[in-house]
Amino acid sequence: MKQLVIAIDGYSSCGKSTTAKAVAHLLHYAYVDTGAMYRGVTLHLLEHGIAFDDLPAVDQVLKDLTISFRRHPQTGRNELFLDGVNREDDIRQMRISNSVSEVSVIPQVRHALVAQQQRMGRKRGVVMDGRDIGTTVFPDAEVKIFMTADMELRARRRQMELAEKGEHVLLVDIIDNLRKRDHIDSTRAESPLRRATDAVMLDTTHITISEQVDFVIDQVSSALFAAGWG
């Protein structure tokens, strides 16, 4: 059967990653969490004391830093590695969330990571989630979904994720962070967060993860049928 590129874009904490991982598992596709890649670069810059506006230093990091994903044999979770070291839990910290949008607007960062993402999906058979997959990374993706949800619900989901990792953050601080990230991501000059004209909107406020997955699978089936591949 013809393999597709499935692009899932949208705002933070709408269920993008959870849905994308489940869809990839069902279809036996590769899964790429592009947001984790930007978080990885952010973590590296912060840990090495590199200012975000020090572009020569940022350029050097992008040349030297190795970003990869590996599937955990027990949990089945795709985890991010920087220079061969597992940093999956570290990139999910609130301090990274507070800075990742500032790093994401740096043109050199976007160009480098978009190129890497395009290489990852070159053979098709991939589910990618992020902010600009359907508009910039894979504008020819056969399936494009744009996810959104109520702000307070998004914040509560994020709060629970952080609490599970032992990080307790006030809801109001998470809402402030999400609003800031939404604004930066939507107004940046390089591949801003926006719905592709041919993307299907999916509001996850009142539906379960299982329903989200079913919705995406239905879109995949429709795309295969329309192309005569089903």
pLDDT tens, position by position, 46-102: 999 999 999 999 999 999 999 999 988 877 778 999 999 999 999 999 999 999 999
pLDDT tens, position by position, 165-193: 899 999 999 999 999 999 999 999 888 99
Non-local (6+) Cβ contacts of 120 within 8 A are 30, 32, 126, 128
State the pLDDT at residue 75. 75
Average pLDDT for residues 206-213, to the nearest whole number?
Answer: 96
State the pLDDT at residue 126. 96
Query: Which residue, 79, 89, 97, 88, is CA-closest to 12?
Result: 97
Calculate the average pLDDT of the chain. Answer: 94
Binding residues: 10-18
In sign, the C-alpha dihedral spanning 145, 92, 115, 187 is: positive
pLDDT tens, position by position, 25-48: 999 999 999 999 999 999 999 999
pLDDT tens, position by position, 99-126: 999 999 999 999 999 999 999 999 899 9
State the pLDDT at residue 62. 97
Of 27-31, 199-203, 224-228, the range with the lowest mean pLDDT is 224-228
State the pLDDT at residue 74. 78
Is the pLDDT at 1 greater than 70? The verdict is no
Binding residues for ATP: 10-18
What residue spans define the domains of the chain? 5-221
Q: What is the rounded distance in angstroms from the CA atom of residue 194 to the CA atom of residue 186? A: 7
Please state which CATH number belongs to domain 5-221. 3.40.50.300
Is the pLDDT at 222 greater than 80? The verdict is yes
Is the pLDDT at 230 greater than 70? The verdict is no
Is the pLDDT at 146 greater than 90? The verdict is yes
